[in-house]
Amino acid sequence: MIQEDLFKKIVAHCKEYGFIFQSSELYDGLSAVYDYGQNGVELKNNIKEYWWKSMTQLNEEVVGIDSAIFMHPTIWKASGHVDAFNDPLIDNKDSKKRYRADVLIEEHLEKINDKIKKEVEKARKRFGEAFDENQFLSTNQKVLEYSQKIDSIKKEFVEALDENCLDKIRQIIVDQEIVDPVSGSRNWTEVRQFNLMFDTKLGSVAEGANTIYLRPETAQGIFVNYLNVQKTGRMKIPFGIAQIGKAFRNEIVARQFIFRMREFEQMEMQYFVKPGEELRWFDIWKERRMKWHQSLGIDPSKYRWHKHDKLAHYANAAYDIEFEFPFGFKEIEGIHSRTDFDLSQHQQYSGKKIQYFDNESGESYVPYVVETSIGLDRTFLSILSAAYKEEQLENETRIVLNIPAPLAPVKVAVLPLVKKDGLPELAREIMDTLKLDMNCQYEEKDSIGKRYRRQDAIGTPFCITVDHQSAQDRTVTIRYRDTMEQERIPVEKLAEIVKEKVDMKNLLKELL
Ligand code: ATP
């Protein structure tokens, strides 16, 4: 299936089956804001639970908090967000569309990279078994030219970003003849900086209102609580603080469904370490986080690392984990070594000492921080796009979501074959036992085939069918979503079998 079509289908499927709705749809919608429906919220909560447990339960030295969205405005001055949380924007004068200038350049680089990939594939076909990819990459003239082009654009780009020179960013767009992806026009405006923070007023205007911000990241809530948690939890370095919560950014371009929203959720963890040990911890957390993604059972080739060419002024190392969405490889999580920048800034702006006293060495220092920052909504989209399958059966197409069983919105559907002969009663009895442990659905409407399809479409891993034989011998059939195989088992054994398969433990175990 063409990837663009796949993406359209996923978006439509999300709406049709109660995963995601456009916010304020009744009023024609609010751009780049989405609501999670009855199935979406279950999947989202399960992803959160998995991340939360993997952080706070599997790591004894990581604890969680839940800080407020509103914070003292000076926090955002100290963190640099008031002055520097900007994206460079550019408008196309013909199409009147607005773009992020940095994204236009990155997409241009990706296109050149795709050309290299095409050359490699062509050569692979031509040379067959004997093909040596590394040798080809280092000797083929065309590939070398493309690689040189990428390097020289990247060099200019990093220079422009380092100097914060908007004219130079624009010049790259002009020199590379980058066109508006919609209209094909090259009629660009100047590049301008645009601050992404939303602001609002605290208190009534008459009382002398203060401008405060909706947090653009959850991390600052962790930094300003560092001392509280360290002291009350008697935490010893190295230790981490994890948090899940909403963040808000007034994104310039927000066209890719829940990939880029103006209100979204982050799952962040800041790990406080001794200065000088940050790069060792950075490598450890890089590995742990990739393992977490790969435990979801998605094809490992869908993930790749992206090293930041331009480091933020506070970072001394930064990598992104990118996922291959239907619209290409894009960032899903960032892992950053943030030095002591944030804590030092808060120390300076608050006038309060933020230091750690190391009992063993007898020294005090401002801890360094390694952060892992993952977008919950992007993770949701990655799981859903990997799970969506259209399978050709004998007489029909079946749409199925192969979501890992512990994350599935509904774990079990209980389906009496007919609405009489005592079958609904037995089905209800089964529901009453299972629903104490997991989210179950009872359905008696429509043919059993139609009911199976509906459950496949929301990713329910198990369907339990109660038939006439069940009423006689208390056995039921269990149908497995992925293989569609059916098996007859005693009602008394059901809870044990299903519970074992949907347990979050199955995912957590893979991280040990
Ligand atoms: P991008 O370059 O795509 O704008 P970013 O580098 O600004 O992302 P971070 O500030 O590192 O993102 O935020 C951490 C994570 O939060 C990202 O990896 C992403 O998964 C998520 N995230 C950031 N912005 C958005 C958004 N507008 N909508 C949904 N998720 C987001």
- Confirm whether 341 is domain-assigned: yes
Whose C-alpha lies nearest to ligand 1, atom 11? 334
- Confirm whether 32 is domain-assigned: no
Average pLDDT over residues 490-507: 95
Q: 13: part of which helix (H) or strand (E)? A: helix 3-16
261 Cβ closer than 6 Å to some ligand 1 atom: yes
Domain boundary among the residues 192, 211, 226 is at 192
Whose C-alpha lies nearest to ligand 1, atom 1? 331
- Please state, in angstroms and as integers, the Cα–Cα distance from residue 203 to each residue in 70, 208, 458, following that order: 12, 8, 44
Question: Using 50, 70 and 90 to split pLDDT, how confident is the model at 282?
Answer: very high
- Confirm whether 15 is domain-assigned: no
**Is residue 238 located within the same domain as residue 277?**
yes
Question: Using 50, 70 and 90 to split pLDDT, how confident is the model at 161?
Answer: confident
Residue 158: CB atoms within 10 A of its CB come to: 14
Average pLDDT over residues 145-152: 94
67 Cβ closer than 6 Å to some ligand 1 atom: no
* Matching residue, tokens 């004219």: 167
Tokens of 371: 């952060």
CB 269 within 8 A of CB 372: yes
**Nearest atom, ligand 1, residue 330 CA:** 3
Question: Using 50, 70 and 90 to split pLDDT, how confident is the model at 433?
Answer: very high
Average pLDDT over residues 495-509: 95
CATH of the domain at 428: 3.40.50.800
- Confirm whether 14 is domain-assigned: no
Task: Give the pLDDT score at 1.
Answer: 67
Q: What are phi and psi of 74, to 5 degrees?
A: -65, -25
CATH of the domain at 158: 3.30.40.230
**Is residue 318 located within the same domain as residue 219?**
yes
Q: In the beta sheet, which residues pair with residue 325?
A: 328
pLDDT at 3 over 80: no
336 Cβ closer than 6 Å to some ligand 1 atom: no
Q: Is 429 exposed, middle or buried (0-12, 13-18, 19+ CB in 10 A)?
A: middle
CA of 100 to the centre of ligand 1 (A): 14
214, 266, 320: residue to mutate for ligand 1 pocket, most atoms within 8 A of CB = 266
**Is residue 305 located within the same domain as residue 417?**
no
Average pLDDT over residues 485-510: 96
CATH of the domain at 80: 3.30.930.10
Task: Give the pLDDT score at 204.
Answer: 66
- Confirm whether 30 is domain-assigned: no
**Is residue 354 located within the same domain as residue 248?**
yes
**Is residue 303 located within the same domain as residue 366?**
yes
Domain boundary among the residues 392, 417, 434 is at 392
Whose C-alpha lies nearest to ligand 1, atom 18? 333
Domain boundary among the residues 192, 216, 234 is at 192
pTM higher than 0.75: yes
- Confirm whether 12 is domain-assigned: no
Task: Give the pLDDT score at 168.
Answer: 95
- How do residues 247-256 score in pLDDT, each as one tens digit? 999 998 877 9
Task: Give the pLDDT score at 206.
Answer: 57
- Confirm whether 411 is domain-assigned: yes
pLDDT at 203 over 90: no
Whose C-alpha lies nearest to ligand 1, atom 10? 217
Question: Domain range holding 94?
Answer: 87-192
Average pLDDT score over the chain: 94
- How do residues 53-96 score in pLDDT, each as one tens digit? 999 999 999 999 999 999 999 999 999 999 989 889 999 999 99
Average pLDDT over residues 176-198: 93
**Is residue 178 located within the same domain as residue 300?**
no
- How do residues 28-37 score in pLDDT, each as one tens digit? 999 999 999 9
**Nearest atom, ligand 1, residue 254 CA:** 27
Average pLDDT over residues 497-509: 95
Task: Give the pLDDT score at 313.
Answer: 80
378 Cβ closer than 6 Å to some ligand 1 atom: yes
Task: Give the pLDDT score at 211.
Answer: 87
**Is residue 174 located within the same domain as residue 44?**
no
pLDDT at 208 over 70: no
106 Cβ closer than 6 Å to some ligand 1 atom: no
**Nearest atom, ligand 1, residue 333 CA:** 18
Length of the chain: 512
- Confirm whether 365 is domain-assigned: yes
pLDDT at 346 over 90: yes
346 Cβ closer than 6 Å to some ligand 1 atom: no
264 Cβ closer than 6 Å to some ligand 1 atom: yes
**Is residue 248 located within the same domain as residue 275?**
yes
CA of 206 to the centre of ligand 1 (A): 37
**Is residue 225 located within the same domain as residue 332?**
yes
Average pLDDT over residues 430-438: 96
Question: Using 50, 70 and 90 to split pLDDT, how confident is the model at 106?
Answer: very high
Q: 101: part of which helix (H) or strand (E)? A: helix 101-127
CA of 318 to the centre of ligand 1 (A): 14
In angstroms, the CA 301 to CA 26 distance is: 40
Task: Domain count for the chain, please give it.
Answer: 3
Identify the CA nearest to 218 among candidates 236, 245, 197, 237. 245
Q: What are phi and psi of 394, to 5 degrees?
A: -55, -55
**Is residue 379 located within the same domain as residue 263?**
yes
Average pLDDT over residues 364-384: 98
pLDDT at 50 over 70: yes
**Is residue 410 located within the same domain as residue 383?**
no
- How do residues 289-344 score in pLDDT, each as one tens digit? 999 999 999 999 999 999 998 788 889 999 999 999 999 999 999 999 999 999 99
Identify the CA nearest to 256 among candidates 141, 159, 383, 382. 382
271 Cβ closer than 6 Å to some ligand 1 atom: no
Whose C-alpha lies nearest to ligand 1, atom 4? 260
331 Cβ closer than 6 Å to some ligand 1 atom: yes
Tokens of 278: 């940050």
CA of 249 to the centre of ligand 1 (A): 9
372 Cβ closer than 6 Å to some ligand 1 atom: no
SS (H, E, C) 57-94: HCCCCEEECCCCCECCHHHHHHCCHHHHCEEEEEEECC
216 cis-preceded (ω within 30 degrees of 0): no
Question: Using 50, 70 and 90 to split pLDDT, how confident is the model at 401?
Answer: very high
pLDDT at 395 over 90: no
Percent of the chain clearing pLDDT 70 (strictly above): 99
**Is residue 297 located within the same domain as residue 225?**
yes
In angstroms, the CA 433 to CA 435 distance is: 6
